[in-house]
Structure 1
Amino acid sequence: MGPECGILKEGLSKRKGVAIAAGTLLLLVAAALLTGFEASGEDEAGLSRFYGIVYESDDTRAVGEPVPGAEITTEQDYNLTGHYVNSTVSGEDGSFEMFLPGGDFKVTVMKDGYEPFSTSLKVVPGRDVNMDIFLVKKPSGAGVNLSSEKVSAELLQGESLMIHLEVMNTGTGTDTIIVEISGKMREWASLGEPVITRSSGGGGPYAQSISNIDDYSIGNVDVNISVPDDAQAGKYNFTIRATSQKDPETFDTMDIYITVKEKENEEEVGFVIPSVGIGAFVLSLSIMGFVFLRRRAL
């Protein structure tokens, strides 16, 4: 074998060694990258941190108390056959956090007692997104209307009167409504048993409970008023209040006015016309006059 063959063989051996070394290096780099990927957090894998706080608010977006237990859901159209969905729940301080890939998302936040919240979100890979969310409380759903055809009356000492009340549940869903009498002269009044299409319960002379009244249904309660014989003449009033038990801050009131007049004294009169009628009375007088004149003539 000539010297040229020896040089060629040596060159091939060196190239083979370099190739093996390069292949080994590539394997080591790949292993390192794989290990680094597994050890790094999701945010280092191209995901973005989406975080914020859920607050209670009014329509003006004024910041109120944090809302714990709100469900935050993010949804992204992933492809024609499926989509990407992620969800979490706000903590005691109202905070939340999740990791999302890049793209456009729909964010929905729900919590019992609050109006649903929905907005859009654009996520850039590797960039955190901070968003505070404001939930508006739902209306209580309670409503009460108290009405009567008669809210004033004139009574003599010792007289009585019954006033018919109508109590309407103007809220949503069934409710229990408490009807009460208050005022300085409430001892003159008492409430009868309520009448509705469902069950009702008593609460004493000054309060009645109208239970399970449907929305926009009416319960009826009578107010019985008795003026004492020794009541002073003058003007009096007391208040009727109907209160929702669904929301005690929801109520309606009505004032009833009573004017008390003194009884006229019944005086004895010397001559009382009989109840038999004026014709018989005149005839009686004529007969009496005839008898009187005849006796005088005799």
Structure 2
Amino acid sequence: MTTEQDYNLTGHYVNSTVSGEDGSFEMFLPGGDFKVTVMKDGYEPFSTSLKVVPGRDVNMDIFLVKKPSGAGVNLSSEKVSAELLQGESLMIHLEVMNTGTGTDTIIVEISGKMREWASLGEPVITRSSGGGGPYAQSISNIDDYSIGNVDVNISVPDDAQAGKYNFTIRATSQKDPETFDTMDIYITVKEKENEEEVGFVIPSVGIGAFVLSLSIMGFVFLRRRAL
């Protein structure tokens, strides 16, 4: 923080101090009218007028406005829900766009109670303008208004309980960690039906009758030949 006072047409009184961790500060000034300027990295400068009366304390409440970070993240997917049987797998394609200004690093993370079912594939970045098609690249270098494609691989365990589950995908700008976008993916798990063995059974009575019928026919045939 700096203070400035006009002593005359040719000179200024200038003093400065650094605030504590809680933002408080203290400065001893002579009486008079001052211009107070407060500066902090990442915030817009703040200036105000201050009148100091000798022998009296002056308290000030100062609120700083954060500068625009230029960061922006958009997370999207064509598929956000699915039904799977126990033991089945699914791949969901995500698009992560850097909607800010300049190159940024965007971290994509999976969270949720059943996060061990899911994993992220290798990111592929596609430029929204300019030459060239998709190319494999680290997600740490996403140009402004370029899209990073990330696959989410989901595998339901064989012993998973039937029911509804969800995962949360979060894409966070490293230029400004307070800039992020989230998406929920919903999975409905259904029980796998047991495969029943199907066989062809011939009743023993039927077989006996069939054999007996053949025996009688053979006997009659032989008897007639003998006659």
With the length of structure 2 as denominator, give the TM-score of the two structures.
0.59
Deviates more, 1:167-176 or 1:203-212: 203-212
Query: Aligned pair in 2 of structure 1 residues 275, 126: CA closer, same or farther (>3 Å)?
Result: farther
- Secondary structure of residue in 2 paired with 1:95: coil
**In the TM superposition, what is the alpha-carbon distance from 1:137 to its structure 2 partner?**
3.5
Contact in 2 for aligned 1:163/1:222 (Cα 8 Å): yes
Deviates more, 1:211-220 or 1:85-94: 85-94
C-alpha separation in 2, matches of 1:121 and 1:296: 138
Contact in 1 for aligned 2:164/2:189 (Cα 8 Å): yes
Query: Aligned pair in 2 of structure 1 residues 249, 110: CA closer, same or farther (>3 Å)?
Result: closer
Answer 1 or 2: which has greater helix percent. Answer: 1
C-alpha separation in 1, matches of 2:216 and 2:180: 72
Query: Aligned pair in 2 of structure 1 residues 225, 100: CA closer, same or farther (>3 Å)?
Result: closer
Structure 2 match to 1:113: 42
In the alignment of these two chains, the number of paired residues is 227
Contact in 1 for aligned 2:124/2:134 (Cα 8 Å): no
**In the TM superposition, what is the alpha-carbon distance from 1:103 to its structure 2 partner?**
20
Gaps of 5+ in 1: 1-71
Structure 2 match to 1:46: none
Query: Aligned pair in 2 of structure 1 residues 96, 178: CA closer, same or farther (>3 Å)?
Result: closer
**In the TM superposition, what is the alpha-carbon distance from 1:297 to its structure 2 partner?**
18
**In the TM superposition, what is the alpha-carbon distance from 1:155 to its structure 2 partner?**
0.3
Query: Aligned pair in 2 of structure 1 residues 96, 255: CA closer, same or farther (>3 Å)?
Result: closer
* Percentage of matched positions with identical amino acids: 100
**In the TM superposition, what is the alpha-carbon distance from 1:195 to its structure 2 partner?**
0.6
**In the TM superposition, what is the alpha-carbon distance from 1:216 to its structure 2 partner?**
1.5
Q: Which of 1 and 2 has higher RCO (CA within 8 Å, sep 6+)?
A: 2
C-alpha separation in 1, matches of 2:98 and 2:208: 61
Gaps of 5+ in 2: none
Contact in 2 for aligned 1:233/1:261 (Cα 8 Å): yes
Deviates more, 1:148-157 or 1:198-207: 198-207
* Displacement over 2 Å in runs of 4+: 72-137, 197-209, 270-298
Contact in 2 for aligned 1:190/1:205 (Cα 8 Å): no
With the length of structure 1 as denominator, give the TM-score of the two structures.
0.46
Please report the RMSD computed on the Cα atoms of aligned residues, expressed in angstroms: 10.4
C-alpha separation in 2, matches of 1:90 and 1:295: 127
